[in-house]
Structure 1
Amino acid sequence: MPLPRDPLAAAAIPFLPTTCRADDGRPAALLAPPASRAAAAAAAASASVDAGLRLLPARPGGGLGGAQEWGASTDAASVELRRAPSPAPSPSPFAAPPKASPLLAPPHVVRPLPSTPQPSHDPQVAAPVNPLHRHSWRAYGLVTAGGAALLVMTAAFAVYCRAKKVGTVRPWVTGLSGQLQRAFVTGVPSLKRSELEAACEDFSNIIGSTANCMLYKGTLSSGVEIAVVSSLISSKNDWSKECESQYRKKISSLSKVGHKNFINLLGYCEEENPFTRAMVFEYAPNGTLFEHLHVREAENLDWMARLRISMGIAYCLEQMHKLNPPVVPRSFSSTTIHLTDDFAAKVSDLDFWNGTKGSDSVTEGCTMLDTESIVHQYGIILLEILTGRVPFPEQDLPLEQWASIYFEGKMPLAELMDSSLGSFPEETARALCDVARSCIDPDPSKRPRMAQVAAQMKEITAVGPEGATPKVSPLWWAELEIMSAEAT
């Protein structure tokens, strides 16, 4: 029988006296069973090496077991001796016969002699292949192949879905997640007309209009206010390919800005029945800069509020001009500057396009204003903020020409400034007038860039980007997640 691996088990198994016989059949020695595994292995190995004997172990029932080959016994003995921590034998619980002399193990580790492997006739000698290993490798291969196939199918489906979507609009990089991120099919979330209809009270809450679109105010179920700009075109037959191209270019350009002093694009609506092309924006509830400067019913702006507004506009335009290509508002004046509850400026660009629909001017609308023109317009707005005068009065000189009287030294500063301001720091006011004068230079090549204007304004006013941004940012993203999930 094979030697047990556990030392306690080896000591507990009763061994019967074992007779070792030589090849000629004579008894060689009567071996008493040892109590430890190490002694048993040493004795068996010594007997096999010295006499080349065949060991016949006795079974627990008293009979002799089948003969084992010499090579197998020496291998087992060598393995057991390597594992045994101490080769010292312990007292045996069995009494040895009087004429038998026990074999002592040699002081060195017995190694098997090289021999030619003998064929074994015992079916237990050859270790059978474990079927569990074969099945585990087969299962591992099936799982790997299935995972690879699933990955390929997922990638193919993603490519197919991407090809089905419109590729003219680049993704809007945000930190959003969940349903809203999955709803980004063209860079911004696509919203349902029914949701916008409910938010805008069946599109009855009109707050403005242009030559080609209508502006509505809406309120989401969470109480967050939005602005919806919808095209006046109500038939697909009147919506040309040029209109569709400009509509998508508009979404693309607006989605790149993402500035805190900009009326950011929140989503769009595109449906065929009824025909709808609309854009959803943030809503600034405190009116426009034009209203606060020139309408008596509006709240008057103090000196610090005017400085903060002028700096917010400058920082926003600087960011828009840094983009590649630069994003230029299609129309830019004090009427397109909206104010938040805390009187922070919000630059807007709500028109779909400039020009008449279907004409060449539609596709060329984005080139009607360039960065130099925007710098000039900023100078005009800055003069509005300082003087409180409208750019084009009905019975007086245009603001630019009227201010040139001061620039020529023919008008005192006190007469130039808005009388409703009361007292103001004259040195700061003069420096701001110099910035406005450089912006409205008749030669566009001599006008500063918006980055230079913003740097000069910051040095004069000491108002940084954080001081010019709105203090309140409504949490409209959670509501948009729900609306986007329903739209998909």
Structure 2
Amino acid sequence: MLSRVNHKNFVNLIGYCEEDEPFNRMMVFEYAPNGTLFQHLHVKEMEDLDWSARMRIIMDIAYCLQYMHHDLNPPVAHSNLNSHNIFLIDDYAATIADISFLPQDSSKSKSSGNNELVHSTLPPLADVEINVYCFGILLLEIISGKLQYSEEQGCMHGWLTNLQAAKYLNDKRSINYMIDPTLKSFKNNELDLICEIIQECIQPDPRQRPTMKDITSKLREVIAISPDQAIPRLSLLWWVELEILSIEAT
């Protein structure tokens, strides 16, 4: 599954280790020196992201999801899209990681009378509509700096359905209260568009949600970052990856 996704904003799988004695299974991914989006939004010791950096990250994620949903046949949906799985590389470009195709405890089995394994029904796989919903939640997390879940506010989904939050999304005069207090400035036209897209992404009926192609097109009209501009700068550790690939080839 990972080998099918070949996009500059998707974390590259470099190789894997498979040993039987001692038993060992390990996957090797490209290094992301600036940690995760979650850390920069919620860990005080990490460097704060300004508005332009957050808009760049939003576009990086959008272009990658558009590629996964529309350029691949069949489409590939991310299995757990959240800020923990968004990694930032040298120039703070965002790269999406997906290493949880088989969720923990999702497959349980029991032994039947004839000693055959009867597997319980697996939960439905992630699909593109769920990705769009998660992208909307991720947008809200990026602009508000709020955790998707905390003991104080509960789940962000519940916060969204709260009338006060709905007011923030619709009333431009109140929208400033949503903004992450660590942000020193922001662009009103970009914020208005993001709030509009959030509303569209979190529609209860998946059929009413926009596609990632629609979302990317709308974002690009206001946030003028092209796909070429979203491509990450070449990592300073490119030679390490090249060396590993060269050894693998020989």
Residue 420 of structure 1 corresponds to 182
Q: 1:429 to 1:410 in 2, by over 3 A?
A: closer
Report how far residue 453 of structure 1 moved.
Answer: 0.9
Residue 376 of structure 1 corresponds to 133
Residue 271 of structure 1 corresponds to 19
TM value normalised by structure 2: 0.85
Once the two structures are superposed, the pairs formed by residues 454-469 of structure 1 within 5 Å of their partners are 454-469=216-231
Give the Cα separation in 2 of the matches to 1:432 and 1:362. Answer: 40
Matched letter for residue 471 of structure 1:
R
Report how far residue 261 of structure 1 moved.
Answer: 0.6
Give the Cα separation in 2 of the matches to 1:269 and 1:284. Answer: 20
Residue 306 of structure 1 corresponds to 54
Give the Cα separation in 1 of the matches to 2:234 and 2:144. Answer: 29
SS in 1 for 2:239: coil
Kept in 1, the 8 Å contact 2:167–2:174? The answer is no
Deviations 1:210-245, CA, capped at 9 Å, x for gaps: xxxxxxxxxxxxxxxxxxxxxxxxxxxxxxxxxxxx
TM value normalised by structure 1: 0.45
Gaps of 5+ in 1: 1-252
Report how far residue 289 of structure 1 moved.
Answer: 0.5
Matched letter for residue 475 of structure 1:
W
Residue 239 of structure 2 corresponds to 475
Report how far residue 330 of structure 1 moved.
Answer: 2.0
Kept in 2, the 8 Å contact 1:265–1:281? The answer is yes
Deviations 1:394-448, CA, capped at 9 Å, x for gaps: 1125334243231353970111112221222212211111011111111111000
Matched letter for residue 419 of structure 1:
P
Matched letter for residue 126 of structure 2:
L
Q: 1:343 to 1:481 in 2, by over 3 A?
A: closer
Give the Cα separation in 1 of the matches to 2:30 and 2:77. Answer: 19
From 142, 145, 148, the equivalent of 1:391 is 148
Percentage of matched positions with identical amino acids: 43
Instruction: Pick the structure with greater CA Rg.
Output: 1
Q: 1:482 to 1:397 in 2, by over 3 A?
A: closer
From 423, 432, 435, the equivalent of 2:194 is 432
Give the Cα separation in 1 of the matches to 2:69 and 2:78. Answer: 10
Residue 335 of structure 1 corresponds to 84
Residue 63 of structure 2 corresponds to 315
Q: What count of residue pairs does the alignment treat as equivalent?
A: 233
Kept in 2, the 8 Å contact 1:383–1:436? The answer is yes
Report how far residue 483 of structure 1 moved.
Answer: 2.8
Kept in 2, the 8 Å contact 1:259–1:319? The answer is yes
Residue 113 of structure 1 corresponds to none
Matched letter for residue 67 of structure 2:
Q
From 93, 99, 106, the equivalent of 1:350 is 99
Give the Cα separation in 1 of the matches to 2:167 and 2:150. Answer: 16
Report how far residue 475 of structure 1 moved.
Answer: 3.3
Which one has more relative contact order, counting CA pairs under 8 Å at least 6 apart? 2
Residue 212 of structure 2 corresponds to 450
Q: 1:485 to 1:315 in 2, by over 3 A?
A: closer
